[in-house]
Amino acid sequence: MKHRLFPLVSLVFLTIGSVLAQDISGGGSLVRDITGGAALIFRAPSNPSVHVSAGGAQGPGGGRIKRTPKSPAPKQDSIIARANAARSAPKPRYEEAEEQYQLAAKIAPDDARAFAGLGNVYVDQGKFAQAVDAYQQAIKVKPDYAGAYLPLAFSLARLNRYPEAIDVYQQTLKYDATSPEVYNNLSFAYNHSGRYQEAVDASQQAIKFLGETGEAFKLGFQERNEIRSYAYKNLGNAYSGMKRYDDAANALKKALEIEPKNASAQFNLGLTLYTAGRYSEAIESYKEVIKLRPQLAQAYYNLALTYVAINDRPSALAQYEMLKALDSEMAKQLYAAIK
């Protein structure tokens, strides 16, 4: 059977946190960079420290307590402690926490803790633009406030402000030069900026510091296998951007070896194999994606186009029939490509 690239369509790719279909605008090859599915490592930022008098022993929730003979600002510390407690409650009281941190910032506008705490509340709620403003204010007040840099960079990345995120992650390395979290997330941002060699280097550093078990990472919401898989997935995406497709496939396969349910790594593997002309392998990869994510319309679309590339129109039409129930508009585009 003669293989060919279909001349008038592009495959779709998976983006972080969601799926997005690219416009069908010419070229049977993949989009220039395969950064879809790259993943950020994230730990919820710690509450700002509070100070208590020498007799104090317990904080009111979530705040790290420092004993001092005499508190420099007892009222301020009390407000921040209440804000910490509201944020760290079993059912977080974000509105209360926000009000208390804002009060602390009003009373002592030169206290970086108040602004960092406010940024934490915004990050928890996915309000990343507001979080950026708060963390930047904390750093403006106290440039060496280390706790603000990592969540600031994360917030910038979530807003697709990658050059700024890269700059802040690089600054973060001054405070933690062996952080797999920082290197992994740098790789993510480099990939999205088209800086693929730097993404490769950063991913390799993340893998090095995570080690074989991932023990080096202080676990937050994510499992060890998940974060190690992310690092290899970002590495694979970087190699794909450099058109080093064999290296990319090997890295993505490693991501799947670590975490077999990593659907986005499997999806990107399909993209990489397709671009390398390894169509039969790409087909198997997309079939695996569909097993993991049966409702993912883009997987049926790309699988169909891979069948088109090998002139297997009946199999492509079978994917079209399944796609119709998931995304009628995408199905129309696919049918036009199959014809």
Q: What is the CATH number of the domain that holds 103?
A: 1.25.40.10
Task: Determine phi and psi for 23, rounding to 5 degrees.
Answer: -60, 145
Contact 267, 220 (CB under 8 A): no
Q: What is the pLDDT of residue 266?
A: 93
Please report the sign of the dihedral spanned by the C-alpha atoms of residue 63, residue 126, residue 289, residue 31. negative
Domain membership of residue 23 (yes or no) is no
Q: What letters, b where the CB count within 10 A reaches 16 and e where it falls short, cover 179-204?
A: bbbbbbbbbbbbbbbebbebbbbbbb
pLDDT at position 34: 43
3-state secondary structure of 13: strand
Cα gap 191→52, rounded to integer Å: 45
Q: Is residue 196 part of a domain?
A: no
Listing DSSP states for 57-121 in one string gives: ---SSSPPEEE-SS-S-HHHHHHHHHHHHHHHSSS--HHHHHHHHHHHHHH-TT-HHHHHHHHHH
Contact 199, 191 (CB under 8 A): yes
Enclosing domain of residue 124: 42-159
Residue 105 belongs to a domain: yes
Give Cα 325 to chain centroid, integer Å: 30
Quote the tokens at residue 333: 């585009």
Distance CA 243, CA 222 (A): 30
Per-residue pLDDT of the chain (339 residues; tens, 9 = 90+): 444 333 333 445 454 333 323 333 333 333 234 455 567 888 889 999 987 543 343 343 444 444 444 444 668 999 999 999 999 999 999 999 999 999 999 999 999 999 999 999 999 999 999 999 999 999 999 999 999 999 999 999 999 999 999 999 999 998 889 989 999 999 999 999 999 999 999 999 999 998 887 777 776 667 778 889 999 999 999 999 999 999 999 999 999 999 999 988 999 999 999 999 999 999 999 999 999 999 988 899 999 999 999 999 999 999 999 999 999 998 998 998 887
Q: How many domains does the chain have?
A: 1
Examine residue 150 and state whether it is found in any structural domain, yes or no. Answer: yes
Sign of dihedral through CA atoms 178, 179, 180, 186? Answer: negative
